[in-house]
Amino acid sequence: MDSNMCQTSKSFDSETAEADASYEEENEHEIATAEFGEEEELKPVDSRPNPQLWITRNSSHADFDDDLENINISNFFHRVDSDQIIYQSKKRRLKLVGKYVMGDLLGEGSYGKVKEMLDSETLCRRAVKILKQRKLRRIPNGEQNVQREIKLLRKLDHKNVIKLFDELHNYEKQKMYLIMEFCVGSLQTMLDSTPDKKFPLWQAHDYFLQLIEGLEYLHSMRIIHKDIKPGNLLLSLENQLKISDLGVAETIDLFAKDDTCFIGQGSPAFQPPEIANGLEFFPGFKVDIWSSGVTLYNITTGRYPFEGDNIYRLFESIGKGVFTIPPEIQEPLRDLLLGMLEKDPYARFSLQRIKRHTWCTRQPSPEGLPKVPVPPLRGDMWHSLTVLPYLIEHYYDEPLEDASEDDGSQHEYITERQLNEMDERRKQRDRTFVVAENSNGNAQSSSSSSKKSSRWKKTISCMSFKTIPGCKQS
């Protein structure tokens, strides 16, 4: 199915295509430059005497796309071989936002980048959502949605709902930083990493129960999430599910007589028939039940109950409410799916009914398929602190491991091919490291770490805390 069908409809407008393209672009770039830090720090440089016009992954398409239709593209752009694109590498620079040390990119939300951060006082790992006012204004209801989300998150406190810890503003740069709980990935990224795009039943069961618990809390706070889907269900280091992205959530008025809603937003593939059919009003909480049903269907079968080539076909199919469940899905899960994906919202299962359902109360045996793990982040299966290399660079001011192994020479300019090679090499090393660790790693890794620290053994002793020579205090 078209990936757009699984995206929130708030981005459904003419900008989507462009936004998607730039997302791909930036994302790819980010991965390639991950070793060197932020993308701003790698700038194409013009080192040749006779520069020709070339376009890099980083150049702003915004300058061109206005006139694209009138211009023969092949005349306008010169083809450049990939190793002729040159990046200049800067050192990893420690960047502080408030008391937080900035780390690497974790993902891209609908409104901006999500990066890792480390609280320099508590040393607790955090994630930060970076919102650019400029970008927000381009999205319909962007600013309004963000304000609403912040207001909601501030008052929420549940183990299965993402927590907001802090908000920082940089008025000069027109940036907003939302400091949130650190997560290692979404159910979607995990599904994408498997061939069948599904979880073993026992694992799906674990996540589903946590989803229901979080949803019960949200509903008790009179909040309808409206965008429940695997991409919005994150996992913490402790394997705890966190419902995230309350950008289109709606709060029922305290004095409203029931949960009637009038607006449907959210990702098309997860919308209930009442929204697909364009009903004027509908019971709100049952919207979340339906999308949780689609989510459960999706994570247990690897498919979607309703599909369509475009949003109209999809809504047509959802509107009819007819779907099939693959034969391998047995009772009582079948019954649960049928109850949650009931066309009539009033006949659809309630949360209480779901909680009491036999499939929920009885845990499937953890046999059969192995657990789907959290996929590695840029080759790192352990999702280690990405802030650490910046701190090491800052405190010890020595070339990074990566650089020192790089033929011994310090590159000032790096071509894209070299960049890819280094990335490849790093991946290979990670792989061999994992193997080594599994076989007899302990001795090996401890010896290497003691080697690394030898330089400091003498200077930093227990008593020399008054001044630390050669170290800049943060």
Partner 1 sequence: MKMASHRENNIANYQIISILGHCFNQLAVVQLAKFIPTGAMVAIKKFDMDKIKEAYLVESEIILTRQLNHPNIIKYIVAFVSGPQVCVVSPLMAYGSCRDLLSRHFNEGLCEPAIILIIRDVLDALDYIHKKGYIHRAIRGSHILISDNGKACLAGLRYACPIVLNGKWQRSIHSFPSTTERNLNWLSPELLEQNLKGYNEKSDIYSIGIVVCELSNGIEPFAGMSKTLMLTEKVRGYAPSILDSTTIPRDENIESGGDCEISTNILNRRFSDDLHEITNLCLHREAYDRPTAGQLLTHPIFKNNKRLLPLPELLKPALPLSDRVGYDTV
Sites of contact with partner 1 (CB under 8 A): 101, 118, 120-125, 182, 184, 236-239, 374, 381-385, 388, 391-392, 395-396, 442, 445-446, 449-450, 452-453, 456-458, 460-469, 471, 473-474
Task: Kindly tell me which of 358 and 384 has the beta carbon lying closer to partner 1.
Answer: 384
Task: Kindly tell me which of 113 and 125 has the beta carbon lying closer to partner 1.
Answer: 125
Written as six digits, the tokens of 268 are 């098309």
- Amino acid identity, position 353: R
Largest pairwise CA distance in the chain: 75
Minimum CB separation of residue 192 from partner 1 in Å reads: 18
Task: Kindly tell me which of 78 and 93 has the beta carbon lying closer to partner 1.
Answer: 93
Task: Give backbone dihedrals phi and psi of 159, rounded to 5 degrees, phi first.
Answer: -65, -20
Terminal alpha carbon distance of the chain:
49
Dist. CA 178–CA 191, nearest whole Å: 27
How are strands ordered across the β-sheet holding 233-235? 185-186, 233-235, 241-243
196 is catalytic: no
- DSSP letters, 83-129, are GG-EEE-------EETTEEEEEEEEE-SSEEEEEEEETTT--EEEEE
How many Cα atoms within 13 Å fall on the side-chain side of residue 189?
Answer: 17
Minimum CB separation of residue 120 from partner 1 in Å reads: 5
Minimum CB separation of residue 340 from partner 1 in Å reads: 25
The DSSP secondary-structure symbol of 380 reads B
H or E segment and range at residue 283: strand 282-283
Task: Kindly tell me which of 169 and 455 has the beta carbon lying closer to partner 1.
Answer: 455
Task: Give backbone dihedrals phi and psi of 316, rounded to 5 degrees, phi first.
Answer: -60, -45
Minimum CB separation of residue 39 from partner 1 in Å reads: 24
Minimum CB separation of residue 461 from partner 1 in Å reads: 7
* Of 227, 245, 288, 423, catalytic: 227
Say if residues 139 and 131 touch (Cβ distance below 8 Å). no
Say if residues 272 and 321 touch (Cβ distance below 8 Å). no
Ligand-binding annotation for 129, yes or no, is yes
Minimum CB separation of residue 349 from partner 1 in Å reads: 25
Task: Give backbone dihedrals phi and psi of 242, rounded to 5 degrees, phi first.
Answer: -125, 120
Q: For residue 343, is it left (φ>0), alpha (ψ between -120 and 50) or beta?
A: alpha
Task: Kindly tell me which of 101 and 314 has the beta carbon lying closer to partner 1.
Answer: 101
Dist. CA 406–CA 404, nearest whole Å: 5
Say if residues 125 and 118 touch (Cβ distance below 8 Å). yes
Task: Kindly tell me which of 18 and 401 has the beta carbon lying closer to partner 1.
Answer: 401
| Residues taking part in catalysis | 227
**Residue list, annotated binding site for ATP:** 129
**Residue list, annotated binding site:** 129
